Structures are given as structure tokens and as C-alpha cells.
Amino acid sequence: MSPSRSSEGRAIDRTTTVVIGAGHAGLAASHFLSARAIDHVVLERGEVANSWRTERWDSLRLLTPNWQSGLPGHHYGGPDPDGYMSAGEVAGFIDGFAAATAAPVRTGTAVTSVRRADDGYRVTTDRGEFACRTVVLASGACNRPSVPAIAAGLPDSVTQVTPFDYRGPGQLPDGGVLVVGASATGVQLAAEIQRSGRQVTLSTGEHVRLPRLYRGRDVLWWMDASGVWDQRYDEVPDLTRARRLASPQLVGTPDRGTLDLNALTALGVEVVGRAAAVRDGEALFSGGLRNVVALADLKMDRLLGTFDEWARVSGVDSDVTPSERFDPTAVPASTRLRVDLRGGEIRTVVWATGFRPDYSWLDVPVVDGKGRLLHDGGVVDSPGLYALGLPVLRRRKSTFLHGIEDDARDVIDHLAGYLAG
């Protein structure tokens, strides 16, 4: 990396590639850049694996089993291959990868602007400026909580929390809790808060139901072995929908138990429909819960059927337990369509309604009106600009820890070709 000066006299560091973000995606990009001897720097606003250190609740564990956790040349080697890493353990795992690869990371360096220049890009940070030919955006897909507009209508007496704020039930006021969203985050928080003695109401929209174990194996083993996770983005029938799909209802616990709506109901959680509006101090819910859960059940059964067929064709039927199906999601004959938020029954609302990336610093016209990056398999709609770590970037497994290796290899191959061209 060589320094120079701008027309205003400011020092500029020059390098071939700037990688933004020192999480698993940015470090995987660095690994393949180093393998190709491409000069680069990795910029990180906090520490390596910063989001795992500072933006996760205390009890969070990976959805993927430890044996599946891996980065290029760096795999889990601990005593519990069937367990699930905590957030702190994930941070340590990624930190170990950064050290093993001697990644050129500059921590405590926040990017404030990325803009086009005649010879590539200018990357401005709070600690100086970089000139480069290519940029890899690896800052993550979960930089900000996605909170619906209806949140503005909640009474001031109700505490509002997102997964970024939440650390554990003890920080919440006494009283009932409305959790909005039934993906992995929503069901995990609903279960934890219910067990703390607070009554939870779970507002449920479209979701992905999966058993933790299927035919004696972790369900994610089936996703991997059967090739579902390796499906390429250009083979997915509805890519836009696939990229917006909620994370599956799973949790990583020592007993490897299933956490779905039936399990939550057994804990005492009240399940209601999708949060549709907040009006005059009342939360209003959709009446379509029965249809929503029926669709989730149907899709789960179809996926399990895919696994069964693969097992039959591949000859592993004899190595696993017999085919099985699970009870349909139980829904009461009638569910509540409204909750009075002014009467004290609900003291807290947890918005488990997803996350979104933050591109407020990206001064290149490659983000659409909904904040989505315009790219084709990680090749952004601006020459020399690339992305990693986004949902179904190049494969269905793109956002998972073990899914970044293939994506990073492909994207850096393209980047190298661009530089050579």
C-alpha cells in the first residue's frame, strides 16, 4: 500500500482493493485476495466480528451445528461437534481466522463515503482516505433492525425494543410482552421471555417451519447433503422472494429440540395473526393465521419429501431412521384480532421483524428505492464494485458461516478478472 496526497493536501493511502467489514464475509474475501497476491486492506468500524460482539442477545447461538461451521481452511475443532456456538464463541472463531490468515485489518475505522473516481473508487473514513481500483462491500445484511411504520402509533407507556437493544428478559419491564415476527429471532425471544415469567403474545406472519432433527440427523445436515443449500441464485425460480425469506424457526440448544409454534403454545405463548395496524391505542392483527400456518406446514412437508427422495436415490435410506412427518400447527378456533395497548396488559413490544443493510455511506447509485443493493451474484451494477454476505447472493447458503467460502471464491475470481481485463 502506497501513500499519496489529494489536491487538498490530505494523505491518501493507495491500494488495489478495499474490503469493507471484518466479519466472516470480509475476511473470506481477504483470504482469496491474498491467495491471488492482490494488494488490499480490510476496514472495520469496530473490532473483528464486531456485530457478534456488540449486537447480539446474551443467549443467542448459531442455527448451524458446530461441525458445519467453517471458513476457508479454518474449521471447528472443539469437543462438541453437534453443539451450537454462542455469539462470543463465533466472535472468537472469526478472530482466530483473521489471525491465521494475517488479514490486513484496520479496526476502529468507520467508512463514511464510497464514491467513484477516474481510476476506481475513493473510500473516505474517519481516519483517512483510500484510493483503490475495486471495493468489496462485506458490511453485512443486518446492520439495522427493520421496524414497521406502525411502531410510531404505539402509546408512550409501551416500551419498544429491537433485537439490537435486547440482551435478556431481565431488562424488560414487568408485565406482558408482544413479540412481532415469528422467524428464528422471534420464536427464540418469545420462548426465552415466556420462560422468564412474562406472558408473551406472538404476532405471526409468513414463516419457515422446520424440525431441528429429521430422521435422526440435524435438519441442516439434510439441507447440505441433499444439495438444497448449494442451489445457485440463477436457478432459484423467484429470486427476489427467496432473498426476502425469513430465517427458519430453529434454535441451537443442547437437547437439539424443535422450536415451532406448537412448542411455543405448549409453553403458554399466545399466538395471533400478523400485526396489521396500530389504531387508537390498539394493536390490530390479521385474521389469516390459519392460512399462514397451513402454508408453512405444507412447505415443510414438501421439503421433507425432497429429503426422502434424495435419501432413496442416493442410497442413504438405510443409514438414517425411517421417514416421518410432524403434527400440523395447532391453531385455536378463534384468535384475538386486537389487543388494547393502553390497559397495561402489554408493557413491551419486541420488533423481531427482520434486519436490513446500511448503505448510507455508499455514494454510488447502486441502491434501489427500498434500500436493496443492485447486483448480479455479488457483482454490483458499478464496474469494480462487489458484495458478499447478502441473502442468496450466489447460493441459498450465502449468509451462513459455512456458505461464504464458495461465494467469496467466485466473487474474488470475478474481481481478479476485472483487474486483469
DSSP, res 159: E
The pLDDT, as a whole number, for residue 261 is 98
- Model confidence pLDDT, tens digit, residues 99-110: 999 999 999 999
What domains are there in the chain, each with its CATH number?
2-143+357-420 (3.50.50.60), 146-351 (3.50.50.60)
> Which pTM value belongs to this model?
0.95
Model pLDDT, residue 8: 55
Strand order from edge to edge, sheet including 17-20: 105-106, 40-43, 17-20, 134-137, 385-387, 379-380, 375-376
Angle made by CA atoms 114, 117, 118, in degrees to the nearest 5: 165
In this predicted structure, what is the pLDDT of residue 58? 97
pLDDT at 255: 96
Q: Give the sign of the dihedral formed by CA 87, CA 139, CA 241, CA 336.
A: positive
For residues 412 and 406, is the Cβ–Cβ distance under 8 A? no
Strands (DSSP E) along 187-279, which ranges? Answer: 200-203, 213-214, 217-218, 270-272, 275-279
**Dmax of the chain from CA atoms?**
72
Q: How far apart are CA 59 and CA 86, in angstroms?
A: 7
Q: Please write the tens of the pLDDT for every residue from 68-115.
A: 999 999 999 999 999 999 999 999 999 999 999 999 999 999 999 999
| Mean pLDDT score, 155-179 | 97
Question: Which residues does residue 346 pair with via DSSP β-bridges, in sequence order?
Answer: 176
Give pLDDT, residue 3. Answer: 63
> pLDDT, tens digit, for every residue of 189-237?
999 999 999 999 999 999 999 999 999 999 999 999 999 999 999 999 9
Average pLDDT over residues 375-401: 97
**Residue 252 forms beta bridges with which residues?**
none
